[in-house]
Amino acid sequence: MERPTMVSRIILVLNRQCKYRSAMEIIPAIDLKNGRCVRLLQGREEATTEYSSDPVAVAKRWEELGATRIHVVNLDGAFGRASGNLEIVRRIVEEVGTDVQFGGGLRSTADINAAVATSVKKLVLGTIAIENKGLLADCLRTLGPDRIIVALDASNGKVATKGWTEVTQQSVLDVAIEVEDMGVGEILYTDISRDGMMSGPDLATLTLLATRTDLKVIASGGISKREDVLELARLGLKGIAGVIIGKALYEGKIDLQEIVKEVRAC
């Protein structure tokens, strides 16, 4: 038998590493505060870095570089403040061709109806998934499970609500199982301690969620370099449906176009 060349060995390794990951989406984050594109450290409002005064232009740039989905968060809404950010979300939806998922402060029927009116593809619901299961059930019934993502933000394994300002005694896995039983099909998991810190993803909890439930899991928090994304891929877990990247893109630590190509080639 002919001995494999070095090139063929590398191709074999790459195929083994990536064979489960062709559907994993790379999802850029756009966090809105006072109409501007910012990032927070560990969800702390006082630790804000502004990256652009034109979030629509940022969304267009991410689309040009290959994003198929964009994650938009209304930080003002998450902290309980009124803002004009919904108009920005509407413009992003109108001016880019990518799917847009939107969350932040969606805690009432009025909030949800206003978000639906922007024509976003999916709504990301956090606090109400913990505190108002009746409203969550109504959303699943009227909008359909395909339009709902439940955000599970955690501190030391416990779910946090209200813009990460209040920590409950409920574990991430327990809540994930509960919302799955209600009909939710997709969740977004963020380890607050890693968010904006570029310290790598919480592989242990992501593995737990992907193996103990049948949910699609979007990973968020801590992504700092190309290897972090590939490490998620190497888990070989079909439940990991996507990964949100924020600060690492804005600071040039990850090249969106290149990482999208790598994942698509898997």
3-state secondary structure of 7: helix
Alpha carbons within 13 angstroms on the beta-carbon side of residue 243 total: 36
Which of these is catalytic: 31, 76, 111, 228? 31
Cβ-based neighbour number of residue 25 at 10 Å: 17
Q: Pick from 72, 71, 57, 41: which is nearest to 196 by CA?
A: 41
164: three-class secondary structure by DSSP: coil
Q: Phi and psi (nearest 5°) for 66?
A: 110, 5
Give the number of C-alpha atoms closer than 13 A to the C-alpha of residue 238, restricted to the C-beta side: 2
Cβ-based neighbour number of residue 174 at 10 Å: 12
SS3 129: helix
Which residue out of 111, 153, 191, 195 is catalytically annotated?
A: 153
Report the distance separating Cα 74 and Cα 55, nearest Å: 12
The verdict on whether 228 is a catalytic residue reads no
The burial of 84, by beta-carbon neighbours within 10 Å (0-12 exposed, 13-18 middle, 19 or more buried), is given as exposed
Concerning whether 191 is annotated as a catalytic residue, the answer is no
Q: What is 81-123 written as a DSSP string?
A: ---SHHHHHHHHHHH--SEEEEESS--SHHHHHHHHTTT-SEE
Which residues are known to be catalytic? 31, 153
